[in-house]
Amino acid sequence: MAIVSLFNHEELYFAIALQNGKIIKSILPKSSKKEALEEVTNGIKSYEISDKYKSFAEELYHIYNGKPSIIKEEDLNLDFKTFQKKVLDEVLKIPHGNIKTYKQISKAINSRAYRAVGTAIAKNPLPLIIPCHRVIRSDLKIGNFYGGTQMKKEILENEGIKIKDNKIQK
């Protein structure tokens, strides 16, 4: 049985799901409670909604607004398949306010599978917590994002990164 907690601020709805005390799923902000719930419970068979982990859901809101995450690695369920685990482990290491390219990630895990890095990140079950928004293209363009490039840009700007014409400014 998974436990789902919600948090909302104005028109932004965040949600998080935990199983055995570990975070198994987070979502990017949605514009309605219904959407947030649908998204976070996608793929989860049985769950109950409670305020028990509301602080985690609220934390998502803080990360979205550019504050450093206080969620610890031991709170996360990182039970992924080998390749994806390597990729997400690397992404998790990117500090707040910093960025890395797809190429740097693939190099760090001794692979040339830049494309596969993209797909692995696309399947990230813990957006915001695993900062996949900090992974960009080597030409410093934003690249794509599950929640849309616009949202990726917004989060990065909230972290203090300057962006002009879809490009990171050094």
Partner DNA sequence: GCTTTAGACGTAT
Partner DNA sequence: ATACGTCTAAAGC
Query: Which parts of this chain interact with DNA (CB under 7 A)?
Result: 81-84, 101-103, 111-124, 127, 132-133, 135, 137-139, 143-146
132 catalytically annotated: yes
Specify the residue for token string 């596969």. Answer: 116
Catalytic residue selected from 3, 88, 128, 132:
132
Residue number, 81 or 170, with CB nearest to DNA: 81
Residue 52 CB, shortest distance to DNA, in Å, is 28
What are the CA-CA distances from residue 9 to residues 52, 64, 79, 93, 116 (Å)? 18, 12, 31, 28, 35
C-beta atoms surrounding 52 within 10 Å = 12
In the bound complex, what is the minimum distance in angstroms from residue 143's beta carbon to DNA? 5
Q: Which C-beta is closer to DNA: that of 27 or that of 57?
A: 27
For the CB of residue 136, give the shortest distance to DNA in the complex, in Å.
7
Q: Tell me 67's DSSP state.
A: P
Give helix 54-64 / helix 149-158 axis angle, nearest 10°. Answer: 90
Catalytic residue annotation? 132
